[in-house]
Amino acid sequence: MTTVLAIMLVMLLVGLLLGFVGAGGSGFMIAVLTVGFGYPIHLAMGTAIAAMLFTSLTGFIGQLKQKNTDVLSGILVGVTGACSSWLGSGVAFAIPEGAMKWCTSGMLIVSGLALWLRMSYAAKHPADRPAPSALRSRLSAVGLGLLVGFLTGAFGIGSTPFIQLGLMLLVGLNMRTAAGTSMLVILPIAAAGAAGYYTAGSLDYKLLLTVLVGSMTGSYIGAQFTKRMPASVLKTGMIATPMIGACLLLL
């Protein structure tokens, strides 16, 4: 019982952060479950991706109420991502647990760096890049979905920084809208990835319920602060979240 309550409390705090920055946070959850509570990494991956589905749902509702979401772009990226997420989940079980730890933490670090570079460029060149055409934006959304869906399924990460980076750079959304839209994108991707891990037996229902009680509550509350906090705070949170998860996992 003590362990259950501890997981709920920790996931409440995790949910607050993820809802604020618009992240599904499965990579962060994997780090907490494996390092903090000693679960095997493949089991933690399946449970975290399934939890990401529900936390993203509550976060999306909060972001939608705040009018931070581009629904059409989110659907395009999410649906194509769901197809590649299913394929990626099959690849995950070909990677040994020891190697998977390094793969997942490496992807988290790369995603955080990529988002930091994009935001730094945008701050220095705010008017250099015109908005893409409607056709290019839609095609870019499809390609983005295929990439981030595979990364989610194969490495257990939510790929939120890649999603937000692609939404800003390729689809032409601003930072706040990209943060909100990423919650919608994650929904079908997480559903397909969780289904793949379920068929492989790497999804713990009791653990999932425990994680959800805390993280869903935190995610909904956290989403209320996305528009209320300064852009600099949101930017820092978006970049720091995957980095912290990677550091925890490497421990």
> For the segment 89-119, what is each residue's pLDDT rounded down to a tens digit?
888 888 888 888 888 888 888 877 877 876 7
Band (pLDDT 50/70/90 cuts) for residue 22 is: low
Record the pTM. 0.76
- Residue 137, Cα to own-chain centre: how many angstroms? 21
3-state secondary structure of 24: coil
Give the whole-angstrom CA distance, residue 153 versus residue 84: 8
Classify residue 225 by burial, with Cβ atoms within 10 Å: 0-12, 13-18, 19+.
middle
- Extract the tokens encoding 200: 């492989």
Give the whole-angstrom CA distance, residue 74 versus residue 137: 12
Residue 197 pLDDT > 80: yes
Rg of the chain over Cα atoms, rounded to whole angstroms, equals 16
Q: 28 vs 40, 197, 210, 222, CA distance in Å?
A: 15, 18, 16, 16
